[in-house]
Structure formats: structure tokens, C-alpha cells
Amino acid sequence: MGSFGMIIGTWLAGFLTFAILSFLYKDNPFYKLAEHLYVGVSAGYWLIYVAFFDVEPMLVRGFLDETGIEKWILLVPAALGVIMLSRWFPKTAWLSRWPIAFTVGVGAGLGITANIQGYVVPQIQATLLPITGLNMDSLDSLILVVGVVTTILYFYFSKPHKGILGGAAKVGIVFIMISFGASFGYTLMARLSLLIGRLYFILSDLLHII
Amino acid sequence: MRRAVPLAITFLTGLFLVVSFFIPHRPFGELEQRLLVWFAIVAGFTMLLGVDNLIRSHARKITRTSEGWGHSVVLLVGLVATVVVGVIGRVQFGSPFHLQSPFMFIYSYTIVPLQATMFALLAFFIASASYRAFRARNWVATLLLVSAVIVMLGRIPIGAAMSEFFPWMQEWIMTVPQLAAKRGIQIGAALGAVSMSLRIILGIERSYLS
């Protein structure tokens, strides 16, 4: 890409940045144009992404490069993919349930193994830290255990929140509210960081003021 | 055929994935990887359905000259141009993601600024929504408010300039109470996902067939 292309690109990016920011005043045609362009370009981008990183190497390259059973077995996902397109024809649309069932089956199978292996066990392991004596780390470890257990108990609705469960749920809500507040603050700061990035782009790359 | 076959596909796919996790030997061991490749291929075809839906819906708006049909033209032009440029990049440079490819021009100067500004815009809406919603009505709401303010102040230089307490406290909030509640929620959600996956594999949950 030459320098002329970069200049055109920078002006285009600047125009689109202002078009999106114009929504702060009110909904207007420039915002609508940028919004629709974003949807269209993103759809095209992901289509190319999936074709280049998934379908081409896994199906097309796989079929051309492999031999024997490894080659022909690729016809199964190819057939499932083509059957998925049967939704285009009302009479055969019901056939698309087969590939949907396959994707749901993969999701459900991974839902069991990946969740237990990736979330439940590691999170419990990381929570049950040793108490090494009367120090700040041990206190933090203890607070962590109390926080995790009481948060889980807060979401346990099979019994009324009375007695010990009610008390634990009340402790749980303290942790949950602190967590939501912290997540809110963290998210807002991340968004502000993006805004600073855009303002820096306008003042530096586009207008050369700083 | 319309219900039994999809239920069988889901059952077998889910079962194979669970079995391959517990028996990491041939022929089950390599099954998980194979099924994931198939999943990616089928998902690639699904992308076609999504894009087709988008094109149909906006083409309908254009042919009926419904309100805002001009924006639909922008969307479709953006989509088609991105795909065409992606194909050109593939042919010309061997990959649409080559730095010299015109596809990367669209990515750098259209998608990146649009996406970053769209998320940056959220900073204003989060701030205005929180101004209206954040009221210290009771002690738990106060906890949320205080936690958010400490995290925000602790992550900016002015917070540290005011007091060393803010950076220290925000770090403690993020690593202890915030983490505890997040872990509790994640463990609960993961256990919920495991039980939902079991229901799907066993055919108790069938809403995906409707």
C-alpha cells in the first residue's frame, strides 16, 4: 500500500470515526451510513475469514492433500455443510436439522468435558490455597473461599433463603455487588481507553496537531 | 426421520466427545480433534446462510424502496466489495490477510476505526446510564458504587496522585472479592452448562429441533 493509499485510508477512517461519534448529538444519516457500512464490511470480513481459515485448509486442502480414508471421510462434513443449505428450499428445510444436531452434539459434548476441565476443576484448584500463617495472604485466601462459596449459595434457589442459607446468601450479595461495581469500573475504563485511542488518532494521524 | 435422526446424531456426537475425553487412545483419542474440524467446516457453511439472510433482507428493502433503503445499498456494497477484495487478495498475494492485500486496507481503515469508535461510544452511554442508575439507596447499592469508584480512580494517574490507597485498594478488590464472586458465578454457570449438555445429549432438551 503506497503513501497515497495511506492518506486516503486515514481520511476514510477519520470520516467514519466522526460519523459514529456524531451519534452523541443525535441519530443522523452519517451515523446510519457508518453503522450499515460496519455491518456489511464485517459480514464480508468474517465470510472471507471463515473461508480462508476454516473451509479452505480443513476441507479443500484436506481433500486435495490427504489420501485413502482420510480423504474420503471429509465428504461427511462437506455433506453436512451442503445439507445445512437445504434451508433455502422450504420442502427440504427439515433436513438442515441434521447438521444442526451435529453442531449441537459437539457443543453438548464439549459442554461437559471442556467446562469441567477448563472451568470447574481449575477454578476450585485456584481457590483452595494453603493458609501459611497469620498474614495478609492467608487472610485473602480465606476471603476468597468464603466469597466463592457464599456467591454460589446466593444462586441456590431450591431452598428459601432463611437461617444459615439466608445468612450465607447475604454475605454472597456483598461479594457480588463489589464484583459488579469493580467490573463496571473496569469496563468503563476500557471503553475510555478506546475513546482516548480514537481521539489520539484524530489529533495525531488525521490532523497532525499532536 | 425428522426427529429421530437428529436426536441420534446429537446423542452419538456428544457421547463420542465425552468418551474420547476419558479414553485418549485409538480410535477414540483422535475423535475429538476430527469432530472439531468437522464442526468448523459445518460452521463455515452456516456463515453462508447468515450472509444470505442479510443480503435477502436488505435486497427486499431496496426493491420495495422502504424507508432507509439507501443505507441497505451501502451495506450490500460494503459486503460485496469486502468479499471481492478478499478474493483478489487471495489470488494476488496468496492470502487475503497479506499486509499488502487490499483486504487489509479495508480491515485497517474501515473495520478497526468503526469497531473502536463504536465501543468508545459506549463509554458515554455507560457513564450517562450509571449517572441515572447509580444511587446509594441502600447499603448494597453503596457497595457497588464505592467499589466502582475505587477501581476507576485506582486505574488512573490522578488516583495515585491523590493517595496510594486507590491503586492498592483497586488491586485488592480485583484480585480478592471481585475474583471470588466471579469464580462463584463461573463455577455455577459451568455446572449449569454441564447439566444442560447432559439434557441435550440424552434428548430431554429438544428445543433446537423446533
Give me the number of domains chain A comprises: 1
Who among B49, B82, B147 is closest to A44 (CB)? B82
The C-alpha cell of B97 is what?
A: 490477510
Question: HSE on the CB side for B56, CA within 13 Å?
Answer: 7
Chain B residues with beta carbon closer than 8 angstroms to that of A44: 78-83, 86
Interface of A with B in 7-46 (CB under 8 A): 8-10, 12-14, 16-17, 20-21, 23-24, 32-46
Do residue B46 and residue A103 have CB atoms under 8 angstroms apart? yes
pLDDT of residue A130: 86
A169 occurs within a structural domain = yes
Pick the residue from chain B with its C-alpha nearest to A1. Answer: B100
pLDDT of residue A177: 95
Q: Is B128 part of the contact surface with chain A (CB cutoff 8 Å)?
A: no
Task: Report CA B65 to chain centroid distance, whole Å.
Answer: 33
Chain B residues with beta carbon closer than 8 angstroms to that of A100: 6, 208
pLDDT of residue B210: 76
- The burial of B134, by beta-carbon neighbours within 10 Å (0-12 exposed, 13-18 middle, 19 or more buried), is given as middle
Q: Would you say residue B28 has pLDDT above 90?
A: no
A109 occurs within a structural domain = no
A67 occurs within a structural domain = no
- The mean pLDDT value for B94-105 works out to 94
A200 occurs within a structural domain = yes
Who among B18, B77, B143 is closest to A112 (CB)? B18
Q: Would you say residue B133 has pLDDT above 80?
A: no
Q: Is B21 helix (H, G, I), strand (E, B) or coil?
A: helix
Pick the residue from chain B with its C-alpha nearest to A16. Answer: B114
Do residue B114 and residue A173 have CB atoms under 8 angstroms apart? no
Do residue B148 and residue A144 have CB atoms under 8 angstroms apart? no
Instruction: Measure the CA–CA gap between B20 and A10, rounded to whole angstroms.
Output: 51
Phi, psi for B123 (deg, rounded to 5): -55, -45
Do residue B187 and residue A124 have CB atoms under 8 angstroms apart? yes
Q: Would you say residue A1 has pLDDT above 70?
A: no
In angstroms, the separation between the Cα of residue A171 and the nearest Cα of chain B is 11
pLDDT of residue A210: 84
Q: Cα separations (Å) of A102 from A83, A129, A198, B52? A: 12, 40, 43, 22
Do residue B41 and residue A58 have CB atoms under 8 angstroms apart? yes
pLDDT of residue A131: 84
Please name the residue ranges forming H helices in A75-162: 75-84, 97-115, 121-127, 136-154
- The mean pLDDT value for A24-28 works out to 92
Are A11 and B46 a contacting pair, CB within 8 Å?
Answer: no
* Residue A138, domain extent: 131-210
Site from B1, B7, B10 to mutate, A interface, most A CB atoms within 10 angstroms: B10
- Other beta carbons within 10 Å of B8: 14
Q: Using only the alpha carbons of chain B, give its radius of gyration.
A: 25
Do residue A155 and residue B13 have CB atoms under 8 angstroms apart? no
Confidence band (pLDDT; 50, 70, 90) for B137? Answer: confident
Do residue B183 and residue A107 have CB atoms under 8 angstroms apart? no
Q: Which residues of B66-100 are buried (b: 16+ CB within 10 A; e: fewer)?
A: eeeeebbbbbbebbebbbebbeebbeebeebbeee
Confidence band (pLDDT; 50, 70, 90) for B126? Answer: confident
The C-alpha cell of A194 is what?
A: 478506546
Q: Would you say residue B201 has pLDDT above 90?
A: yes
- Min mean pLDDT across A45-59, B70-84, B119-133, B144-158 is at B119-133
Instruction: Measure the CA–CA gap between B34 and A105, rounded to whole angstroms.
Output: 14
Q: What is the DSSP letter of B204?
A: S
A73 occurs within a structural domain = no
Do residue A148 and residue B178 have CB atoms under 8 angstroms apart? no
Do residue B200 and residue A55 have CB atoms under 8 angstroms apart? no
Task: Give the tens place of pLDDT for each residue, A130-182.
Answer: 888 888 999 999 999 999 999 999 999 999 999 999 999 999 999 999 999 99
Give the CA diameter of chain A.
Answer: 72
Domain extent listing, chain B: 1-64, 67-132
Q: Report ipTM for this prediction.
A: 0.87
Residue type, A107: G
A102 occurs within a structural domain = no
- The mean pLDDT value for A45-52 works out to 96
Pick the residue from chain A with its C-alpha nearest to B174. Answer: A182
Arithmetic mean of pLDDT over chain B: 92
Q: Is B129 part of the contact surface with chain A (CB cutoff 8 Å)?
A: no
Q: Would you say residue B134 has pLDDT above 80?
A: no
pLDDT of residue A2: 66
- The mean pLDDT value for B182-205 works out to 95
Return the percentage of chain A with pLDDT > 70, whole number.
99
